[in-house]
Structure 1
């Protein structure tokens, strides 16, 4: 690795982070790159606008859904040990697992939980429970409160519920609470020395909090909720780490399951299995899914990635096996995801010389929009789709199941749960882009903003897919 080249990348990321944060009211940002045996971490700005604490290179932050790759690694460890089998029904190990559709849970295999193909309709299910029985409480609530979106293996839909059930499954087969298992079998052998599993642990060291833009001034204001409930731990609610710790975890997967210290964390076969395609929806807005990892194609180069939203913050972990590179970032407002996308594309195109082809090259004008109009639902989300002026117009509404879940979701969303109507222009039948965006905006991570429709029968689409999440025609 050319040291000067890495220094150039460090200077570029430091400069770009400072400029973006200043222009977009992002209080703080921290990023790190490991490439071919060398690495750097840069930090900018403020970790908490209330206290004025600086964002440091070793400041901790909520991992958010990056945790899902850690949870998947824990599941594969138990497969390596012969405790779990991926193609065995979950109820074999977790008999109390049930949904409100009789017999539906019986069809879900362990593999479906970690490949986002389980169909559990629980993406916005937020039971409020703490402590050792939090995940047990979550699974118990599924039986009366949550159904299915599709048959297991039929579709791909990003699944918080699947990962939380996987976390409870791990508790049952190991006899350890998820937080203790995470610390014992991931943090310790990987060398994630500054990572923690609770706010009580995080308060003992430098830790960032999230912020939301004030609707009127756009200035960042601190979140009123640091973490989601303990029930969301395995999906990303509570684990906290640093950029250096995430780089160490990414390097472990680069090295076929061997940590930077030489400890075997995962078998080479299981590490490879996580990176292989487990399901491909064959739609530009939803990259192929591995186990835990999402496989973003940039031409012939694959970026293994997972991003993570927390209350007022966003993290990302990217592993590029073909180029021995790991990128980890955190910004403490939701808009920092745009900066993360810019940095990833710059590293690919300028630092690594990877051509980034245009994902969407043209649009079609004469697309029949009738099959896509209608109402789509998943859990507590309703999306009404209508045809207006040759475009699709979507109105999304959050319909809380109870006051507790409304409170949690509202705090998680920064107080704003109602979105204005959004227009979409057709790219081709079944694929639409938000109006007003240049097509090149979707070449990177923001391809998730595209919306697709699937399984058209009798002139009507059965599913709408936005952000990797399915809703089903009502």
Structure 2
């Protein structure tokens, strides 16, 4: 078996090559980068670039960074601790804990069970919701209260669609059961027993130590600059808006799950039974762009082994965690700037293939003959699909499909997020198989890793007139509007 030093050398070489390609400005589209590897009892962290390019603050191994949605795996771990204690029932009705929970779709809340919150099968259309008016103890409650203005995308368990509401509701259930605000509970019931001593739960805590900020592309100058918004509102804390961690602490969390719920210090955080339950498939969409889901973990198949995976995003930042129990291996990474996902993808594939020696086949092949056999079938996919604050337009253009996404803020409070939502850039799609399409300007190999697969576009369900009812991209679905 190869040693961890070889893995570190390989990643450092890739980072150096990327920096050389970009010249003195650093890696293409990246302000700073952190990566950590744990393998069979050994652990190393490497860093490159800046935590803040404007202030010229170097990225260091102990720099904290906004975690984003990897927090969802931590929220799930917290819920499972209370399920194990008998204080929360996975099959219990959500309204038993939150009787005032309301949605616009009549009767939907009555069908919700706690487990639906943890595997993205709840169907609530609210992932773009991020109210900011309330801070402090009632922040998470304010998120759940705001769901009264949201509808649904599909009936419970019909599909899997990545979203924030389920975990915000789960966070609120934890608050109601314990009487403790979510961020305090995260510190007490997860950070402390796992040994995440350098992690924070708020921007106020993070500012007291070296912390990386997000970066974006300045379109006027063509250079990378810090973003204007450090963190998302605290109302989404349980879904990933406020946690700030270090690579070493994130690896400690990964190692706890590698050890079936026992932390690196030897403390029991979760039983082996419930740790295994989190990585057991609960729903499989049977499509390459939305992997099978356990509880809190996406589950990726590489040959005969299964990897637990999650990503996180906050303004200008992307975090990444992949955990392979069969190999006692975990890779954690953070990058700021639009080029970070590509770095995560390349490093992950190199580690899987070249370091661990796993078989990672190309996910898709372009096959127009089996995908779309006439213009009428192609036109059937066309239409407008919507999810809260996002409009997906699918059109037929000169014999192919074109897909674009437009951000439509629901109010002035959410409009500030528009700068990080991106503009409606139409993407020409090429058929892969029935109901699956890929950006036509990219080679099939670019859709092999977990990040690349999210760029695939899939169509699901059927309307009464025979058209697809939903479109899927980046792990999430939107419902046909017209």
Alignment of 1:470 onto 2:470? no
Q: Is the 8 A contact 1:98 1:106 kept in 2?
A: no
Alignment of 1:86 onto 2:90? yes
The residue number in structure 2 matching 1:10 is: 8
In the TM superposition, what is the alpha-carbon distance from 1:341 to its structure 2 partner? Answer: 0.9
In the TM superposition, what is the alpha-carbon distance from 1:386 to its structure 2 partner? Answer: 1.0
The residue number in structure 2 matching 1:268 is: 272
The residue number in structure 2 matching 1:455 is: 461
Which of 407, 410, 413 is equivalent to 1:404? 413
The residue number in structure 1 matching 2:379 is: 370
Using the size of structure 2 for normalisation, the TM-score is 0.95
In the TM superposition, what is the alpha-carbon distance from 1:333 to its structure 2 partner? Answer: 1.1
**Superposition map of 1:45-444 within 5 A:** 45-128=49-132, 129-143=134-148, 145-365=149-369, 366-367=372-373, 368-407=377-416, 409-411=417-419, 413=420, 417-444=422-449
Over the aligned positions, Cα root-mean-square deviation in angstroms equals: 1.3
Q: Is the 8 A contact 1:86 1:109 kept in 2?
A: yes
The residue number in structure 1 matching 2:22 is: none
Q: Distance in 1 between matches of 2:299 and 2:18?
A: 27
In the TM superposition, what is the alpha-carbon distance from 1:267 to its structure 2 partner? Answer: 1.1
The residue number in structure 1 matching 2:17 is: 19
Q: Distance in 2 between matches of 1:102 and 1:459?
A: 25
Q: Distance in 2 between matches of 1:264 and 1:23?
A: 40
Q: Distance in 1 between matches of 2:361 and 2:474?
A: 21
Q: Is the 8 A contact 2:366 2:431 kept in 1?
A: no
Which stretch has the larger CA shift, 155-164 or 101-110?
A: 101-110
Q: Is the 8 A contact 1:28 1:45 kept in 2?
A: yes
Any idea what SS the aligned residue of 1:263 has? coil
Q: Distance in 2 between matches of 1:371 and 1:267?
A: 49
Per-residue CA deviations over 1:200-250 (Å, capped at 9, x if unaligned) read 111111100000011243311111010000011111100000000010000
Which stretch has the larger CA shift, 171-180 or 352-361?
A: 352-361
Using the size of structure 1 for normalisation, the TM-score is 0.96
Q: Distance in 2 between matches of 1:395 and 1:239?
A: 31
Q: Distance in 1 between matches of 2:422 and 2:266?
A: 46
In the TM superposition, what is the alpha-carbon distance from 1:278 to its structure 2 partner? Answer: 0.7
Per-residue CA deviations over 1:162-202 (Å, capped at 9, x if unaligned) read 11111111111111000000000110000001000011111
Any idea what SS the aligned residue of 2:468 has? strand
In the TM superposition, what is the alpha-carbon distance from 1:7 to its structure 2 partner? Answer: 1.1
Q: Distance in 1 between matches of 2:423 and 2:30?
A: 23
In the TM superposition, what is the alpha-carbon distance from 1:433 to its structure 2 partner? Answer: 0.1
In the TM superposition, what is the alpha-carbon distance from 1:16 to its structure 2 partner? Answer: 1.1
Per-residue CA deviations over 1:417-447 (Å, capped at 9, x if unaligned) read 4222111111122000012010011111211
Any idea what SS the aligned residue of 1:68 has? helix
Name stretches of at least 5 consecutive residues in structure 1 with no aligned partner: none
Q: Is the 8 A contact 1:275 1:291 kept in 2?
A: yes
Q: Is the 8 A contact 2:458 2:472 kept in 1?
A: yes
Any idea what SS the aligned residue of 2:462 has? strand
Which stretch has the larger CA shift, 51-60 or 292-301?
A: 292-301
Name stretches of at least 5 consecutive residues in structure 2 with no aligned partner: 20-25
In the TM superposition, what is the alpha-carbon distance from 1:49 to its structure 2 partner? Answer: 1.1
Q: How many residues align?
A: 467
Which stretch has the larger CA shift, 455-464 or 440-449?
A: 455-464
In the TM superposition, what is the alpha-carbon distance from 1:370 to its structure 2 partner? Answer: 2.2
Q: Is the 8 A contact 1:25 1:218 kept in 2?
A: no
Any idea what SS the aligned residue of 1:406 has? helix
Q: Is the 8 A contact 1:30 1:43 kept in 2?
A: yes
In the TM superposition, what is the alpha-carbon distance from 1:45 to its structure 2 partner? Answer: 1.3
In the TM superposition, what is the alpha-carbon distance from 1:23 to its structure 2 partner? Answer: 4.4
Any idea what SS the aligned residue of 1:271 has? helix
